[in-house]
Structure formats: C-alpha cells, structure tokens
Amino acid sequence: MQNTQLIMIEGIPGSGKSTTAQLISNELLRMGLGHKWWYEEVKGHPVYIYENYNEMQTIIEDLTSGNYQKVIDRALKKWREFADSVQLSNEIVIVDSCLFGYLTWTLFPFEVPVQEIEAYVKAVEQMLKPLNPAIIYFYQIDIGAALKNICTRRGGETEQHFIRASTGSAYGKSRGLDGFEGMVAYWKDYRTLTDTAFQSLACNKISINNSEGNWPQYARMISDFLGFDNSDVGPMVERDPKPLLGDYQAELEGIPDCSIQFESGHLIADGLPQVWTRSILIPRAVNVYDVQSLPFQVRFIEDEFIRLCLTGPALLDGPVDYRFVKKVGNR
C-alpha cells in the first residue's frame, strides 16, 4: 500500500466523498490496518473549530463582519494540532471534505479574497506534508446534472437548502444569483477555485471524473492509486433477506416508522432518522450492515420479534442511537 498516514477525499457536495471514505475504511479494515475515518458531520472532528451549530454560528458572525483572518488563524492552529497528533499515531486517517470543503467552502461564500483562500490551502498543505497525504479529487463535466442528481438522491428539502445557501450568501447576492441556475453558477465558480488549488498541490493525488456514476471503475482506480492488494477478497456470505423486509415502528415516541426493502440485490433502508432516503445497506456480518456513505450500522436482532438497531457516532445534529421493531403481520 502507498506510504501515507492521511487520505483526503474532496469534491463538490454529492460527489461521492463519504461513499469513497467508507469504501477505503472497509478496505483498510480488511487488510488489518489501523485507521480512523472522520466523517465530515461527526461531533468532535479534530480539524473543526466548532463543536456544535451554536459555535458554528459564532464563526459565521465573524465572517459576516469581515474577521476572516481570525477564523483562518484558529483553523490553522487546529490543522497543526491535527497533523502533530496523526504523525505520533500508528493509524491511517481518512477525512472527507476537509481541505477544499470545511473552511474553504465557508470562506468562499463570504467573498474572502481568492488569494487569501489559496494561501490558507497552501498553509494547510505544508502542515500536512510530514504525513505524506494522498488526495482523491472528484469532478464532474456537467455540474448542474451532478447537483440535480444529489438533490434527488437525498430528497426532502435538499434542493431548496442548497439554493438558499448559495444564492443567499454574500457571494450569491452580490452577483444576483437566483434559483437552481444560480446555485449551479455558484458551484461552477467554486469549482474553478478548487480545480486551481488541486493542480497546485505538490503531493500524491488523483483526479477522477465521476460524471458517469461508474463506481466499480472508480473503486478500481482508487485501489490502484492507494496500492491496495485485492488478491484475497472473498465473497460476503449473506443470509436470506426476506424475514427482514417490511415496516418497522420506532420504540421511541415521536420517531417516524421506517421500512426495509430489497431491490437490485441490495437491502434498502427508507425512513431511518439522520439517514438519507432509500439508503443501501452493505453487509458486514450476519444481520449486521453498514449504511452506505455514513458511519452508521444497522443490526437486526431476531427473538420473539425482529428488532432493528441503528447506531453510530454522534453527529453535530445529535446522537445516533435508535431502536425499531418490525410490525406484526408485515410481509
């Protein structure tokens, strides 16, 4: 495997960053290599300068008032602490959306000068140099189509949220950006910035055009780039999924019902809290599944009833620990 202590995955929202981080994490687990995946929304992330949404609001207030250098200085201090910590550990660390995401796409909407953002990225790159980082950068030819796909995939208010965040930002307002097309224009401009930043990086890196959605091909490219040995990968032994299918009722009042379906060879979870709609469940062991793209696990317990447990690390919007029971007479 490539000699690195840090693997970073970058790209615009919905590029497949967390899906890729999970894929890499699972491969390192299979190889018996100690590692840690820091999902971008997890509470206590070692790079972030906030612990919750209230602290995030304070940072936004600093940026709104033009105190971006104060924010950058705090962020660089955290990056230094992070780099020192990883260097002293025996783990490989995986982070998604941290170099070009995280602070960079927070500085951009507040119209921080491009040269200041570029200087910030270069400063972080220098701090990370002892870790010999490997960077995977996803890009798409048609940004509008990519954004439409992710809005559809995540469902709910995703599209309206993306539109408000981009067109309602200082950057969007000063340019008169509006609606879906305004959102696309925003992310095109942002991509121009990150494309340039990626080209200037002097480290092990790979850029992947994932417009076609051919994830088996992208997985092979990433595997080759990182030097994974896939020679002993065996098939996962799976159980008959039929008894698990059906509707489940939450044990905690106020939590909506969810359902487990089977489509195209995969178990699909729909309606789980803090999980995107219609998420694929990836088999890990008998009755144990990873939620695709998220650091969560679903466990099925079969006793008098079939129970579903959803667990994972606490996120910025709260803990992940839910229990469901399959409804009687369901399929």
Rounded to two decimals, the pTM is 0.93
Question: What whole-number distance in Å separates Cα of residue 239 and Cα of residue 299?
Answer: 13
307, 325 in Cβ contact below 8 A? yes
19, 218 in Cβ contact below 8 A? no
Question: What whole-number distance in Å separates Cα of residue 18 and Cα of residue 4?
Answer: 19
Helix H or strand E segment including 33: none
The pLDDT tens digits for 260-273 are 999 999 999 999 99
Question: What whole-number distance in Å separates Cα of residue 275 and Cα of residue 270?
Answer: 8
Token duo for residue 135: 């960077």
Query: 324 pLDDT exceeds 80?
Result: yes
The pLDDT tens digits for 213-241 are 999 999 999 999 999 987 655 555 567 89
**Tokens 């798409």 sit on residue:** 140
**pLDDT for residue 191:** 95
The pLDDT tens digits for 15-36 are 999 999 999 999 999 999 999 9
The pLDDT tens digits for 266-314 are 999 999 999 989 999 999 999 999 999 999 999 999 988 999 999 999 9
Note the Cα 246 to chain centre separation in Å. Answer: 28
For residue 156, what pLDDT band results from cuts at 50, 70 and 90? Answer: confident
34, 229 in Cβ contact below 8 A? no
Q: Would you tell me which CATH number, out of the four given (3.40.640.10, 3.40.47.10, 3.40.50.300, 3.40.50.2300), belongs to the domain 6-226?
A: 3.40.50.300
Delimit the domains of the chain by residue range.
6-226, 242-326
* Strand, coil or helix: 32: coil
- CA-to-CA separations, 19 to 122, 219, 291, in angstroms, rounded: 26, 10, 10
In this structure, the strands spanning 92-96 and 134-139 are: unpaired
Q: For residue 94, list its beta bridge partners.
A: 7, 37
Please, is 261 exposed, middle or buried when counting C-beta atoms within 10 Å of its C-beta (0-12, 13-18, 19+)? middle
Q: Would you give the DSSP letter of residue 211?
A: T
Question: What integer best gives the mean pLDDT of the chain?
Answer: 93
Q: By percentage, how much of the chain surpasses pLDDT 70?
A: 96
Q: In what order do the strands lie in the sheet with 92-96?
A: 35-38, 92-96, 6-10, 134-139, 204-209
CA angle 245, 251, 252 (to 5 degrees): 135
**pLDDT for residue 231:** 62
Query: 192 pLDDT exceeds 90?
Result: yes
Closest CA to 110 of 172, 164, 161: 172
Token duo for residue 170: 């200082």
- Count other C-beta atoms under 10 Å from residue 179's C-beta: 10
**pLDDT for residue 47:** 95
